[in-house]
A and B are shown apart, each in its own frame.
Chain A
Amino acid sequence: MKKSINILISAIMVAGLVSCNDGGTKKSKSGSQGGLATNAAERVYVAPGEHDEFYGFMSGGFSGQLGVYGLPSGRLLKVLPVFSQNPENGWGYTEETKPMLNTSFGFVPWDDSHHPDISQTEGVLDGRWIFINGNNTPRIARIGLESFKTEEIIEIPNSAGNHSSSFITENTEYVVAGTRFSVPVPQKDMSINEYKGNFKGALTFIKVDQESGRMNIKFQLMMPGFNYDLSHPGRDKSHGWFFFTTYNTEEAHSLLEVNASQNDKDFIAAVNWKKIEEYVNNGGGKKVPAKYAHNVLDEHTHTATSTMIDEVLTVDPLEVPGAVYFLPTPKSPHGCDVDPTGEYIIGNGKLSADLTVHSFTKMLDAIENKKFDGEAYGIPILNFEDILAGVVKQPGLGPLHTEFDGKGNAYTTFFISSEVVKWKVGTWEVLDRQPVFYSVGHGMIPGGNSRKPFGKYFVALNKITKDRYLPTGPELTQSAQLFDITGDKMELLLDFPTIGEPHYAAAIPAEMVAPKSRKIFKLAENKHKYAVLDNSDVRVERDGKEVHIYMNMIRSHFNPDNIEGVKVGDKVYFHITNHEQDFDVPHGFAVIGANNAEMLIMPGATETLVWEPKQVGVWPFYCTDFCSALHQEMQGYVRVSPADSDIELSWTLGED
């Protein structure tokens, strides 16, 4: 009925009977089309019980997490904890997950997550994993797309401001992490004004095991001390190369907004990683001392381990002739994007009015025929005119990022002029422009940085929100906007708020991920050291001041639920196993006065929360996740006696 009404309404509109929708009372803010004048509402409407067409993964920015959204509805499906503690489910608070946030700086409970990238096979999204970088304390995380859980985090040594990350090569051979801030390598006490010529920029190539997804640093390319801003791999014909934009080739160390904006051109660094890989496989490179953490969450023990690694293999680009070249690119390029054919490398010169496109074929020719225009720190600079494929003339102000639709079109975001511009790859002709609200950063088309984009939607990830939603005081959420890009002109369909500040995003057709999404963890496969699989193993043990409670839970009780013999000053470990084997029946656990958080325990998993009781008394704990009709009954008590008490440990369930 509803649908037929909608169809009727759209039919009337098509007939032109409804021509004006704002009634003249309010200026339309959605560009040339008001939402009602089109059937936009219908195109983003996902009826109750229906599913979205795409999973959209939007970086959580300064929340440190990853937002999972449905597209086209823009509905938030999950906040997936990655680099920041999450009291909502205990991530980074439980004993099992604390090691995931370990670094060479100790426990770091927060980061700034930027650029998610989905694993690929032959340049096509495959939905195995999604990678994302922590920018502040350089790290790369790998998230498994069966459990939607962060399974691994590796720290990047010799790096600072891990920004030209985490982009993957087209068979997920490598995930690449480049440093935005160059630093002394190794770190040492030196004067900041000795930056020039002394600081280094590390570009890190992390090998990914194709079976387990496990990451390890294969090599670090130690580049001149520029700022390596963004990167993308070559694909198809340019597979084997990696491209990094640079700014601050001036090597300024203060007032960069002026001092790093002086050179007419900065560079895109083109790195032939296959050549360097071969050099390294033949024993090339130099192992240097380093200190970085490698954290892995085991899905059977439900427990993370953190290993500190003490050396890393570095490569001096001058030692591998023919591996690195600089492509001059106007005005502090930001995004570095490669089209689906691998031929065109787009430098989004953020202070330029034009968009510069380099040709991969011309680049190879220039290399072969030594069409150089000098060198920087021994690295050849290719002649700008000889590698230029074309220029998109005056498309807008402040180009940042470009995505592709797989039909020969490119979509570039413009921060300053606050718009998205569609242009034709090859003719460089501007086809369409649409305003965005306001000041877009990254844009995203599902698969839009791969060989096979799913060019149905474009999502603008805006930096400024202002008046788009009901005001919520000075601090606002960020805003995303969804465009339909199937027609000649882009059509704005939807605004939706996003968590943190999304930078890049990635999306994938739902059918590539949803069918393998995990429902439960099998209890029989639980290898947690403190798991209680059988009720006869329920117990409480004392080890000096430590008390270990081996507990389990099922609708609607804890076993045990009465515990005595705990004393003030004890460190109490609640090791709790969820015995449910039913989809969507997690149980929560919270205990009064806990100085950490609650924990949510998935069916079949074991988690541990530490509680340090400071006061004598009888203290309750309870299930926080409304699990059943008897959820309110799912509770228990711990008796805490004075430190010098001689009450023995005892534990019961259901006894009078």
Chain B
Amino acid sequence: MIIGSLLLLGLFKFPLWNIMLGAPQYPQPLGMDIYIQGIQGVEEFDIQNIDGINHYIGMKPIPKVEEMWEFDVFPKVIGLMVALGVIIGILGFLGKVSYKWFLGWFIVMSILGLLGMYDFNLWLIEYGTDLDPKAIMKLENPDGTPMTYKPPLIGYQKMLNFDVDSWPGAGAYMILTGMLLTVVAFFVGKKEYKKEYN
């Protein structure tokens, strides 16, 4: 349980999500790493270069840290969950709280995770569809509707000349492992409990 929740700390160091943009002119794809505290280029100038390309189709620049409340709140929420997890773990180890708290933590974390994904998807939609009306290139879908540029939440998509890959980063795998560990902790706790009381 303690290790599981501590794995969440990895989010401060490793990206939660990664989006790569390859194109004929970019044999070395441009990429952005999404951290809970902000978005960074995979290479030093990738964000600037993605923005440079996006301005043709009227997309807004990729948000800076101060432009999204998420980058302020997410680290705090994660910090809180780590602290809670460690406390529950210690108390559980000492037998002061029930193993059910482990599951409780997992459920709360899962809900938060889903909310996070939902929020991330909302941002992707806004980023990909709220386009500058004076955009240099205004493209239409075959059915005549304006083309939008929402990157996939997860997976691969071809967008104009770009191959877009959006996949969880190392941080996401660490959360997942951490959360699984708490489930393991729950079952171990349950078994111990049963051993003790049966």
Contact = CB atoms under 8 A, between A and B. Distances in A.
Contact of B45 (A520, A554, A630): A520
A270 B76 CA distance: 76
B136 A630 contact: yes
Interface string B20-47: 0000000010000000000000001100
Interface in B66-83: none
Nearest to A580: B52
Interface centre among B45, B48, B137 (most CB of A within 10 A): B45
A342 to B, nearest CB: 44
A629 B52 contact: no
B45 A582 contact: yes
A274 B84 CA distance: 73
Interface residues of chain B: helix, strand, loop or mixed (majority) = mixed
Contacts of B52: 554-555, 580, 582
A582 B49 contact: yes
A520 B45 CA distance: 10
Contacts of B137: 629
Interface residues of chain A: helix, strand, loop or mixed (majority) = loop
A580 B56 CA distance: 15
Interface in A575-621: 580-583
B49 A581 contact: yes
Interface in A603-656: 629-630
B56 A581 contact: no
A563 B168 CA distance: 49
Nearest to A584: B25
Contacts of A630: 56, 136
Interface residues of A, number: 9
Contacts of A520: 45
B125 to A, nearest CB: 26
A587 to B, nearest CB: 13
A581 B136 contact: no
Contacts of A582: 45, 48-49, 52
Nearest to A628: B56
A555 B44 CA distance: 19
Nearest to B137: A629
B160 to A, nearest CB: 11
Contacts of B136: 630
Nearest to B53: A555
Nearest to B49: A582
Contact of A629 (B45, B48, B56): B56
A309 B114 CA distance: 72
Contacts of A580: 52
Nearest to B48: A581
Interface in A391-429: none
Contacts of A581: 44-45, 48-49
B66 to A, nearest CB: 19
A577 to B, nearest CB: 15
A172 B2 CA distance: 59
| Top 3 A-B residue pairs of the complex, sorted by shortest distance between their CB atoms | A581-B45, A582-B49, A581-B48
12 contacts: A520-B45, A554-B52, A555-B52, A580-B52, A581-B45, A582-B48, A582-B49, A583-B28, A629-B56, A629-B137, A630-B56, A630-B136
Given A580-B52, A582-B49, 5 more contacts: A581-B44, A581-B45, A581-B48, A582-B52, A630-B56
Interface of B: 28, 44-45, 48-49, 52, 56, 136-137
